[in-house]
Amino acid sequence: MPESDWEPLSAAVLAGGLSSRMGRDKALLPLHGGGPPLLKIVIEHLKRVASDVFIVATGRPEYESFGVPVVPDDVVGGGALAGIHAALRNASQQHSLIVACDMPFLNLALLERLAREPRDYDVLVPLTPGESKQRSDGLIYQTLHAIYSKTCLDSIERQLQSGRRQVIGFFPDVKVRTIRVGKNTHHDLDLMSFFNANNPEALALAAEMEARNEH
């Protein structure tokens, strides 16, 4: 990792999902024949902003070949929230950048923007335009492209123990800072950072976009 002007940061890739929409382990799929798998692409991006990079996944011995530690999910069936919990428990730094394994277009400038923000928050999460059940204002929390502090652990544990799995469910209990990304912002205007290659159609589209960018 190059010298940086921000505090040390851990980074975790959540790769413990079932890949049910893809039909096979999406983390191991390349965008094109002979290319690196999605998981490798994401790891290499994270190494440019974090001093401690690792994978969160259970029962995936093939991930050991990626050259970074692999730690198990803490709660079976706990979804992304359990993955975030495992990441924070295993991180060497107080704050962890946590992303999904199927995001091939992570934007270095945006990652650096997140890393440079003063660490006076519990969660630092991008907000992007879109409709969801999360909010009623036409914005979406990008919870799997966010920085979390170990101070979130108690709140996450209480939520997991109650059987609730929605990541934003613990947000009212902690200090959340948001960063707007998209139109009229300085980073990633096309929102490609948040593109998920999580099904065959999305993977094919990602391959097409990468090919266009190379020419």
pLDDT of residue 24: 64
Over the chain, what is the mean pLDDT? 88
pLDDT of residue 49: 96
What is the architecture of the domain spanning 10-213? Alpha-Beta Complex (3.90)
Model's pTM, two decimal places? 0.91
- What is the domain partition of the chain in residue ranges? 10-213
Look at residue 187 and tell me whether its pLDDT is greater than 60. Answer: no
Q: 3-class secondary structure for 40-81?
A: HHHHHHHCCCCCEEEEECCCCHHHHHHCCCEECCCCCCCHHH
Residue 200 burial by Cβ neighbours in a 10 Å radius (0-12, 13-18, 19+): middle
Look at residue 34 and tell me whether its pLDDT is greater than 90. Answer: no
Residue 162 burial by Cβ neighbours in a 10 Å radius (0-12, 13-18, 19+): exposed
Residue 115 CA: distances (Å) to CA of 44, 108, 181: 16, 10, 15
Which band of pLDDT confidence, cut at 50, 70 and 90, is reported for residue 23?
A: very low
Mean pLDDT of all residues in 74-92: 92
Mean pLDDT of all residues in 110-138: 90
Determine phi and psi for 114, rounding to 5 degrees.
Answer: -65, -45
Mean pLDDT of all residues in 36-62: 94
pLDDT of residue 4: 67
